[in-house]
Structure 1
Amino acid sequence: MTLPANLWLVGCGNMGGAMLSRWIAAGVDPASVTVIDPGAPFVPDGVRVLAAVPNEPAPQVLVLAVKPQLLDAVAPSLADVKPGLVLSILAGVEEAALATRLNASAIVRAMPNLPVAIGQGVTALHGATTDRDARDLAEALAAPLGRVEWIDDEALFDAVTALSGCGPGFVFRFIETLANAGAALGLPADQALRLAQATVAGSSAMAAGSSETPGTLADRVASPGGSTREGLNMLDADGALAKLMEATLKASFDRNRAMAAAARG
């Protein structure tokens, strides 16, 4: 798949900036990219930065990467721009809501997560368009970021956002909590953090590369009557961990639904 010949990136915060860096590393010509952001974003050398939408021909791809709450503030300035593809990373903003505000030949929603910054993220894509070129462009932009997953039913996009979009935040909190628990047992805090980081990284890599389920791997670590089993018993008691994670994802899911309702209105 071929990367776009020219691209506008509207909004260049943490996620937009991370995606841009990966695209440049993958071979996108910096001179073909225009960042539209009234702030002072850090961009790779050669990328043009403008405070407002320029009066010039529309790009092949327009990537919408502002905060969802800012959609109605930026949409009027883009109303007369008709790119071949709008790729939106706005959480909770449905394709129909985008279509009422933007004049695009095709729209694809994307939900990247923070590890895209190191090329190990997950990007979920959904688009009702049957335009093969538009879908290929969206996938070509997602591929340098890590794993790409197409979601057939847009109704599931809020669940995807809660799981993989918000998930890194939950994993980071788990690492912090695991390290703090180790420090509470007497380990130096910095050493406990290093051990927690390496443990999660190694376990994640092992789970990703194994044909066995994570549950099976957990049981393999836990010898009957051993220390791992005692710890797992705490997590499993009355479904404590399962209930906590379900409640965590449900809170994020509900917030996505609320943002979608606001965008429809």
Structure 2
Amino acid sequence: MTDPLLPGPLWMVGCGHMGSAMLTGWLAAGVHPAHVTVIRPSGAPVAEGVRVLTDYPEDEVPAIVLLAMKPYQLDAVAPRLAPALDPRTILVSILAGVEAASLRARFAAPETIVKAMPNLPVALGKGVINLYAEGGAAADRNLATDLMMALGHAEWFEDEAAFQLAGVLTGAGPAFLFRFIEALGKGAAALGLPEDQALLLATAMVAGGGALAAASQDSAAELARKVASPNGTTEAGLKVLDADRALFDLVEATLAAARTRSVEMAAEARARN
């Protein structure tokens, strides 16, 4: 049977939170579950019709392999997986902090290695997926683009350092946004609103505000200005956020801390080469 997104079998090595989110998004986009094999030590099922094994299949050569386990597991996975790969296999890694050179050192056969950094909204087809390729033909990049676009917005980077930084922004960013939603809800609760109601309102407000920002031709700064009437309630709150660039400095420090850890993880992977 033909598949709109896959040229052949897809192997998913590991299927944690992010892998599961990607699988959910692909199945919703029309990938046939029979074309997907998940390899995980537990053998626990993941989705109806998707084959789950505890070892690599011997009855097929994968068209695409997605490395979706924890980064520290790379050296345990590589020795058994590498011999099963073909030069035509596209190897896709979502392992945070693991550089293309570290992947190439462990997987010599595939002509194309793609690094991808998705975020959890891929499960809804609303994700952001940053992409960087090491080697391979344009056709392989096009295939990877189509596969990732089924999950949301795919963005290519020609520089691995820029890819790494973008991954910090969009990969870790949802967690920072979720924390801000929590802070809004708890802040309103501290002032007297029931906490469950405050969190519900904060979540709905962020969903609507994000949709407006994505659809508007105005910048985020201009949208904030339009919400804030002179001497009004919004302006009073913005003055607190803007004082001494408090919010901007806090966000920059947050992203810098995440990037520093990403660089450390890359160094750890290089040291194991």
Give TM class, smaller chain: over 0.9
Distance (Å, rounded) in 1 between the aligned partners of 2:235 and 2:148: 40
Letter in 1 for 2:219: T
TM-score for both structures, normalised by structure 2: 0.93
Q: Does 1:47 align with 2:50?
A: yes
Pick the aligned partner of 2:98 from 86, 93, 98.
93
Aligned residue among 7, 12, 17 for 2:10: 7
| Pairing partner for 1:136 from 129, 134, 142 | 142
Q: Distance in 1 between matches of 2:34 and 2:5?
A: 17
Q: How does 1:173-192 map to 2 (within 5 A)?
A: 173-192=179-198
* Cα distance, 1:100 vs structure 2: 0.5
Mean CA deviation greater in 77-86 or 174-183: 77-86
User: 2:242 corresponds to which residue?
Assistant: 236
* Structure 1: gaps of 5 or more residues: none
The equivalent of 1:127 in structure 2 is 133
- For residues 41 and 159 of structure 1, what CA distance do their matches in structure 2 show? 34
Q: What TM-score, normalized by structure 1, do the two folds share?
A: 0.96
Q: CA deviation at 1:53?
A: 1.7
3-state SS in 2 of match to 1:8: strand
Output one character per residue of 1:82-125: Cα deviation in whole Å (capped at 9) or x when no partner: 24200110111111110010131210000000111111110111
Shift of 1:2: 4.1
Task: Report the alpha carbon displacement of residue 130 of structure 1 after superposing the two structures with TM.
Answer: 4.3
Instruction: Give the match for residue 149 of structure 1.
Output: 155
Cα 1:41–1:146 change in 2 (3 A) is: farther
On the 8 A contact 2:113/2:136 being kept in 1, the answer is: no
Task: Give the match for residue 20 of structure 1.
Answer: 23
Superposition RMSD on alpha carbons, in Å? 1.3
Query: What's the offset of the Cα at 1:81?
Result: 2.0
* Percent of paired sites with the same residue: 53
Change (3 A) 1:54 1:2: closer
Describe the SS at the equivalent of 2:106.
coil
Match of 1:215? 221
Alpha-carbon distance between aligned partners in 2 of 1:246 and 1:240, rounded to the nearest angstrom: 10
State how far apart, in whole Å, the 2-side matches of 1:72 and 1:119 are: 31
| Secondary structure of 1:166's aligned partner | helix
Unaligned ranges ≥5, structure 2: none
Separation (CA, whole Å) in 1 of partners of 2:136 and 2:39 = 28
Number of residues paired by the alignment?
265
Contact 2:96 2:117 in 1 (8 A): yes
Q: In 2, are the aligned partners of 1:82 and 1:105 still within 8 Å (CA)? A: no
What is the 5 A alignment of 1:99-110?
99-102=104-107, 103-110=109-116
